[in-house]
């Protein structure tokens, strides 16, 4: 696999598990310990700890030193947060199908839990290249806004939301323009 040849790459297949997708999403807005992740997601502490280590080893999470005050003995729990730079280092050569299968499974969970649907759209259309690039740029801005403003769970006047964006460029039948490969 190419990520084994280049340790700077993040193996996309490490996310090919709906629970890991949930963990990465949760840690986008806050740094949390395994105990906090377990409590928030309703899973066993050992399971949360295992998946956190796997995600950290793959390069999606980074340990942080932000330690809340602690009473008693023992070392403070290790906290993790999403490493936003992993998005630019993704190894897209392997695991894309597995990731999308895991995303589909998690999307089904989110749809079942949804209390309100704010926006949904689907389109398979032909667009001028400039319009397509503008749409991609706008979605990129929305994703950056959601990730940049995400905060810890259950704090302040926050609402739990789900946002999924998947923009695909499909092969066309215009022989003058061969399909572009995706990274």
Q: Helix or strand or coil: residue 98? A: helix
pLDDT per residue of the chain (183 residues) written in tens, 0 to 9: 444 455 555 677 778 788 998 999 899 888 999 999 999 999 999 999 999 999 998 888 999 875 555 566 666 788 999 988 777 766 666 667 777 788 888 888 889 999 998 888 888 899 999 999 999 999 999 988 998 888 888 778 888 888 888 888 988 775 555 555 554
Total-model pTM: 0.67
CA of 14: how far to CAs of 18, 32, 45, 113, 174, in Å? 11, 19, 20, 25, 36
Using DSSP bridges, classify how beta strands 32-33 and 10-11 pair: parallel, antiparallel or unpaired: unpaired
- State the Cα–Cα distance between residues 89 and 5, nearest whole angstrom: 13
**CB 110: neighbour CB atoms within 10 A?**
16
Q: Helix or strand or coil: residue 64? A: strand
Confidence (pLDDT) at 1: 45
Using DSSP bridges, classify how beta strands 32-33 and 61-64 pair: parallel, antiparallel or unpaired: unpaired
Confidence (pLDDT) at 92: 63
Name the architecture of domain 2-117.
Orthogonal Bundle (1.10)
Question: Which element (helix H / strand E) includes 20?
Answer: helix 18-26
- State the Cα–Cα distance between residues 171 and 35, nearest whole angstrom: 46
């Amino acid at each position: 696999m190419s990520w084994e040849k280049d340790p700077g790459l993040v193996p996309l297949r490490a996310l090919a598990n709906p629970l890991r997708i949930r963990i990465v999403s949760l840690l986008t807005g806050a740094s949390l310990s395994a105990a906090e992740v377990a409590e928030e997601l309703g899973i066993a502490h050992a399971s949360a700890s295992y998946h956190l280590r796997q995600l950290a080893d793959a390069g999606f999470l980074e340990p942080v030193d932000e330690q809340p005050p602690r009473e008693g003995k023992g070392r403070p729990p290790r906290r993790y947060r999403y490493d936003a730079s992993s998005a630019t280092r993704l190894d897209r050569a392997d695991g894309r199908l597995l990731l999308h299968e895991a995303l589909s499974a998690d999307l089904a969970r989110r749809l079942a839990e949804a209390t309100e649907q704010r926006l949904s759209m689907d389109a398979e259309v032909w667009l001028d290249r400039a319009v397509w690039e503008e749409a991609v740029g706008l979605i990129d801005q929305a994703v950056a806004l959601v990730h940049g403003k995400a905060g810890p769970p259950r704090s302040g006047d926050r609402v739990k939301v789900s946002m999924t964006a998947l923009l695909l460029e499909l092969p066309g039948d215009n022989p003058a323009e061969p399909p572009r490969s995706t990274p």
